[in-house]
Amino acid sequence: MDHDDRDHSDVVVVGAGIVGLGVADAAHRRGLSVTVLDRSPAATGATVRNFGHVCLTPQTGRAWEYARAARERWIRLGHDAGFAVRQDGTWVVARHPDEVALLAAAAERAPDATPVHLLDAGEFTARAAVAGAVGGAHLPADLQVDPRRAAAALAAHLERRGVRFRWRTPALGVEEGRVVTGRGTLTAGLVVVAVNHDLDHLLPGLAEAAGVQRCALDMLRVDAGLPAPLPGPLLTGWSLVRYRAFADLPEAVAVRERLHAEHPRAAAFDVNLMATQQPDGSLLLGDTHRRGPGVDPFQSEEANEVLLACAADLFGVPRPRVLERWQGVYASGPEEFLVARPAPGVVVATVTTGIGMTTGLGLAEDVVRSAVGGDRP
């Protein structure tokens, strides 16, 4: 193969996060040659710094449609690439009557494809070891993956199928049919830019016009000493006032006002208290939120203390032991998605809120379908 063949593909994908990997998979399935480039030696961004929660049921509108498509692809890719996809759903604890009322309202309005099954206090605590439950719900359509394993396994699977990867290769500029990189120029019929919050590095004018910022999160992996494993990802009242299928309901107002009044420190850090359990029994715990054009490299220990205090109260245990701390970062904007065409043959695709693992594979499928058409045999 000569130099021109190596440097030309039908599709060049900039960014090897979940959207970029999803684009590579969708294009390759259609019989197209694909090259993926990333400035890092492996996926290190938002795709691996999250809960691994495919949070389908709490979405609405376009996000719900993308999440439904993503669910099918997660199951297929987990089977094909050899990573676990847990299909036990999500569990939502209600610790106050206003949260029970909100869950009941959501259950009445839930689509058939993503039901909300209500549980009383006894039913819930029989499944999840939490303190103070007065009710809860099970969201059976949701999934869970291990983000640290899934991204690497998916990239390896695509490479085995013939997708070319160029790691440690920064994109310096994109234009019609060309990506200028730190290792030369690649040409393609279609260029898809999927760099999430780093869009302002590559296309700063577009990022600024679209209002894209960075959202930084404090997250922890802890040993909470739970008496029994969690049955799946666990959401709380803080989650109910964040995710739109719950937060947009009138019943959410009372929940939000009470939580902010009772827990002002958690509210100040914009906490979404949730936990997912890892195969070794540890919990991914989080998270806080702060937004701006850049990310302060200095994390507040108070934020971690708030999370640990919330977890101790939620599970009725002593202060959990911290195993790892890290900062998550994702793109944040006024809309949930940014899809733009800054030049002929160039598509920008970014999830601009914290639902990349939930919706990214669905967004990727839509982008490729729009650009090159339906599946080929």
Residue pLDDT, tens place only, 191-207: 999 999 999 999 999 99
According to the model, what pLDDT value does residue 376 have? 40
Cα–Cα distances (Å) from 212 to 200, 219, 295, in that order, read: 8, 22, 13
- Please give the Cα distance from 52 to 49 (Å, whole number): 9
pLDDT of residue 256: 98
Q: What pLDDT is stored for residue 129 in this prediction? A: 87
Q: What's the mean pLDDT when you consider all of the chain?
A: 94
Helix, strand, coil percentages, rounded to 5, for the chain: 35, 25, 35
Residue 44: per-residue pLDDT? 87
Instruction: Provide the CATH number for the domain formed by 3-49+148-210+335-372 in this structure.
Output: 3.50.50.60
> For domain 90-140+213-330, which CATH number applies: 3.20.20.105, 3.30.420.40, 2.120.10.30, 3.30.9.10?
3.30.9.10
Burial of 127 (0-12, 13-18, 19+ CB in 10 A): middle
DSSP code, position 198 = G
Does residue 295 surpass a pLDDT of 90? no
Position 377 confidence tier, pLDDT thresholds 50, 70, 90 = very low
Please say whether the beta carbons of 19 and 337 come within 8 A: no
pLDDT at 298: 87
* DSSP H or E run through 61: helix 61-81
Q: Give the containing element (helix H, strand E) for 265.
A: helix 264-268
Question: Which of 341, 350, 29 has the alpha carbon at shortest distance from 190?
Answer: 341
**For 85-99, what is the mean pLDDT?**
97
Contact 38, 376 (CB under 8 A): no
- pLDDT tens, residue by residue, 320-376: 999 999 999 999 999 999 999 999 999 999 999 999 999 999 999 999 999 987 654
Q: Is the pLDDT of residue 45 over 90?
A: no
Which residue has tokens 């009725």?
A: 316
Residue with tokens 């103070």: 132
For residues 158 and 164, what is the distance between their CA atoms, to the nearest angstrom?
Answer: 8
Between 285 and 4, whose confidence is greater? 285
Indicate whether 62 pLDDT > 80.
yes
Residue 280 carries which DSSP code? T
Q: How far is Cα 78 from Cα 84, in angstroms, rounded to an integer?
A: 6
Pairing of strands 346-351, 184-193: parallel
Domain chopping of the chain, boundaries: 3-49+148-210+335-372, 90-140+213-330
- Determine which helix (DSSP H) or strand (DSSP E) holds 351, and give its type and residue range: strand 346-351
Distance CA 370, CA 42 (A): 28
What is the pLDDT at residue 237? 97
Radius of gyration of the chain (CA): 21
pTM above 0.85, yes or no: yes
Which is it for the CA torsion 322, 133, 121, 96, positive or negative? Answer: negative
Give the per-residue pLDDT at 3: 43
